[in-house]
Amino acid sequence: MKLYVVDDGPPSLACRMTFKLLNIPFEQIEVNYNVGEHLTETYAKLNPQKEIPVLDDNGFLLSEHIAIMQYICDKYAPDSQAYPKDPTLRALVNHRLCFNMAHFYSAIAPYTLGTIYFEYPRNAVGLKRVHMALEVFEEYLKRIGKKYVVADHITIADFPLVTSMICLEGIAFPYDKFTRVKTWYETFKRENPELWAIAEGGLKVIQEIEKNPPDLSKLDHPIHPVRKTAKH
């Protein structure tokens, strides 16, 4: 089984954490985002969306990190509490996964990675979106009242939320006032060192490129204005 990943990509890191938690062997194939390897027609055969990650399970191709995590659990660890079968718990896991992709990460990614890689400003509207997303996450943690985002144990719902947080930590974004978010994030790091090590690898890359922007001279992006010089 092959997983095509990018080293600082939150969706890729979340998939890798799922493999790690479930102890499932796989071959990790690095895709070079900075030269636009994912934008080639060769890569489009794996994923017509031209996005990373993609899973190739013996010829079965699957993109979208949420679908990949759910598939891995359903196929290779159907009894794992990481993706519980109980309908209410599973609904909450699915909710958190959708919440992250549609609301939380979609506010955080443009403000953090988006402004490192592309000529987009880190402006007040972006900041407000991040604060609003953190407020909502804080509220969900308050309502659920558990150690992790769904239960007192880890589920796959924690992974993408953790990998969104590394984007904030990577640019030294102050999130301390969101006390439940901070506590959950610190608990995750402390109690899951092997899983955290995967996310931390991505965090270190983000911290580095925040200081020294990557060389994107070979990236010809069809949508985004590629940042050719350091800014912030």
Ligand X SMILES: N[C@@H](CCC(=O)N[C@@H](CS)C(=O)NCC(=O)O)C(=O)O
For ligand X, the binding residues (CB under 6 A) are: 6, 9, 11, 38, 51-53, 64-65, 101
Quote the tokens at residue 25: 């062997």
Q: Which uninterrupted H or E stretch holds 226?
A: none
Q: What is the DSSP letter of 217?
A: T
Nearer to ligand X, 66 or 150 (CB): 66
Active site annotation includes 12: yes
Nearer to ligand X, 35 or 136 (CB): 35
**Phi first, then psi: what are they for 226, rounded to 5°?**
-70, 135
- Alpha-carbon distance of 204 to 223, in angstroms, equals 27
CA neighbours within 13 Å on the CB side: how many for 161? Answer: 30
Nearer to ligand X, 44 or 91 (CB): 44
- Alpha-carbon distance of 53 to 151, in angstroms, equals 27
Nearer to ligand X, 130 or 206 (CB): 206
Q: Which residue is nearest to ligand X (CB)?
A: 9
Nearer to ligand X, 105 or 140 (CB): 105
Quote the tokens at residue 176: 């301390």
List, in sequence order, every residue forming a beta bridge with 6; answer none if it has no partner: none
Q: What is the DSSP letter of 86?
A: S
Catalytic position from the list 12, 80, 106, 164: 12
CB 163 within 8 A of CB 13: yes
* Cα–Cα distances in angstroms (integers) from residue 135 to residues 60, 82, 176, 191, in the given order: 39, 25, 12, 24
Q: Which uninterrupted H or E stretch holds 60?
A: strand 60-63
**Phi first, then psi: what are they for 61, rounded to 5°?**
-100, 135
Active-site residue set: 12
